[in-house]
Amino acid sequence: MKIVLAYSGGLDTSVLLSWLKEKYDAEMIAFCADIGQEEELKGLNQKAIRTGASKIYIADLSEEFAKDFIFPMMQAGAIYENQYFLGTSIARPLIAKEMVEIARREKADAVAHGATGKGNDQVRFELTAAALAPELEVIAPWRDASFRAQFPGRKEMIEYCARKRIPVEASAKKPYSMDRNLLHISYEAGILEDPWLDAFAPANKAMFKLSVSPEDAPDKPEYVTLDFVKGNCVAVNGKKLNPLGVMRALNKLGGKHGVGRVDLVENRFVGMKSRGVYETPGGSILHFAHRQMESITMDREVMHLRDSLIPKYAELVYYGFWFSPERLALQALVTESQKDVTGTIKVKLYKGNIMTSGRKSPVSLYNPHIATMEADPTKAYNQDDATGFIRLNALRLKVAAQVHRKKRK
């Protein structure tokens, strides 16, 4: 049997690699995706081989992540439960897609992951595999009772690695778990399982990696311009950048000013509520600026239709249905809605806040001559027309009021 394992080189996946090889008498192929997490990848090849892998793939997917996953999602304006920018959710289908491609290339029988049986990631990995390679078996050790019995805690994993001479840096359990990529960092579990704990208190300052606290941000605001073409940001402060470059530039700017921190309790797909703390500095700026660009370029009814679909789109991403036919259908609508979202937005960053400082577009639908409270030089709008407009819209209300008044008598 040949198995491709999503591998990071940490304690959990090192144990998984050895355990799977032993249990299934399998040839193990390790796979690590670089999606902008900036973790140390040096030496990972040797570590995987020493742990029992016959081969390891390390794929730099950062550009694809920005262009084909983050940017389309930003065009949709997707936020899960009005707070979460879907940083982890959107990364999983890309990782799973690449893992499936490697499995096919290697003619593997199965893919495996180390996602817990209580979380969303197991669903995201496996729905992607089902959509792209239904013939592949998916192995999830954390849903195997024998694995959980053998490794009830971190202590047993460390002891296992010592016995097997698996090269890992054994350490005490962190007070929280962390997941990082180009779009965000998430923190959960451990001390954060207490929803009363103030994650942003000075005592927890060391937890954050991408941003300073708003209190420690510069006392002087910074102005940033973002140029958009068809709903995609193509330049920051006048400098043309590809999607990866945009995300890196905005992450740096947002982090400097304490932008994009969120503490929320969210509803997991598997049914439980979970508390998470997130840093999304660049994504927060991009989402805000994109919305402002739409405000002067997008038709009202198109905007309202697209906005009505945001909760569904975000839910599909969060639940793991990125490669589903319904998400692809929604994306087609989103792409059509973005054809005129072109122009420049200027924002002000100041102590955790993002504020609009200017909007302009060659295809702006905002006409100051029509909107003015002064005399309209274009005569495009006759205020007298509003009388009939209001009368017709009020008709059903008047009829209902008269009917119900009679009933009360």
Number of residues that make up the chain: 409
CB 325, CB 280: distance < 8 Å: no
256 contact partners, CB below 8 Å, separation of at least 6: 211, 212, 217, 218, 222, 349
Question: What is the rounded CA–CA span in Å between residue 380 and residue 308?
Answer: 30
Question: What is the rounded CA–CA span in Å between residue 285 and residue 251?
Answer: 9
- Residue 12 annotated as catalytic: yes
β-strands 27-34, 2-6: how paired?
A: parallel
- Residue 177 annotated as catalytic: yes
* Secondary structure letter of residue 204 according to DSSP: G
Question: What is the rounded CA–CA span in Å between residue 144 and residue 264?
Answer: 30
Helix, strand or coil, per DSSP, at residue 211: coil
Question: What is the rounded CA–CA span in Å between residue 12 and residue 6?
Answer: 11
Q: In what order do the strands lie in the sheet with 343-350?
A: 239-240, 232-236, 222-229, 343-350, 353-360
Of 243, 241, 221, the closest CA to residue 352 belongs to 221
CB 295, CB 341: distance < 8 Å: no
Which CA distances in Å does 131 have to 38, 76, 101, 209, 272? Answer: 29, 22, 13, 35, 25
Q: Which of 50, 143, 146, 177 is catalytic?
A: 177
Of 148, 72, 118, 103, the closest CA to residue 5 belongs to 103
Q: Which residues of 159-194 are buried (b: 16+ CB within 10 A; e: fewer)?
A: ebbeebebebeeeeeeebeebbbbbbbbbbbeebee
Question: What is the rounded CA–CA span in Å between residue 175 and residue 191?
Answer: 6
Which CA distances in Å does 277 have to 69, 93, 289, 300, 360? Answer: 22, 22, 23, 34, 34
- Residue 263 annotated as catalytic: no
- Residue 337 annotated as catalytic: no
Q: Which of 62, 89, 121, 361 is catalytic?
A: 121
Q: Which of 14, 18, 89, 92 is catalytic?
A: 92
Q: Which of 12, 62, 248, 306 is catalytic?
A: 12
Q: Could you list the active site residues?
A: 12, 92, 121, 177
